[in-house]
Amino acid sequence: MQINEQIRDNELRVIGADGAQLGVMSAREAQNLADEAGLDLVKIAPTATPPVCRIMDYGKYRFEQAKKEKEARKNQRVVDIKEVRLGLNTDVGDFNTKVSQATKFLQHGDKVKVSIRFRGREMGHPEMGLESMRRFAEACAEVSNIEKPAKLEGRNMLMFLAPKTAK
């Protein structure tokens, strides 16, 4: 962003400190107006013809922009992907523990990747893995939506659950 003496254009469309159009004038005239007001001349639309400049307090403007960016960063939340691993022979107690763990992750706002690793002869029974994934999805249904349904990829079966949005 060009300010004050950095602006070298012949003609500029100038906007005053109060937002009023001051018209098209030379860079020197615009700079004189800004100096009289004790403010800076800032080029805000360099691609327009003629380029648009505004008379403003540039330091205050930069401070407010930094404040807005900081506020935006503060409100931002990174969604983590937590993984829960099941086995084909995961028993009821362990299964319920994994469901409660996944539910906790989902309520916290994280996505959950549910995976089953098929070992040895288990590869011959992918339908058992699908059944296990279906039961897991049903158990977590009140706090999650299935983002990506169960799919066999090599020796692993993966499913992604996303937290339900609060309405």
Tell me the domain boundaries of the chain.
Answer: 4-75, 81-163
Distance of CA 47 to the CA centre of its chain: 29
Stated as kind and residue range, the H or E segment containing 68 is helix 58-75
Q: Tell me the CB-side half-sphere exposure of residue 72, using CA atoms within 13 A.
A: 6
Neighbours of 91 (CB within 10 A): 8
Which tokens in the block code for residue 155? 């020796």
> According to the model, what pLDDT value does residue 136 have?
93
Per-residue pLDDT reduced to its tens digit, 54-108: 999 999 989 999 999 998 888 877 778 999 999 888 889 999 999 999 999 999 8
Return the CATH class of domain 81-163. alpha beta
Can you tell me which residue has the tokens 């706090």?
143
Per-residue pLDDT reduced to its tens digit, 14-36: 998 888 898 999 988 889 988 99
Q: How much is the pTM?
A: 0.56
Rounded CA separation 98/45 (Å):
56
Return the CATH class of domain 4-75. alpha beta
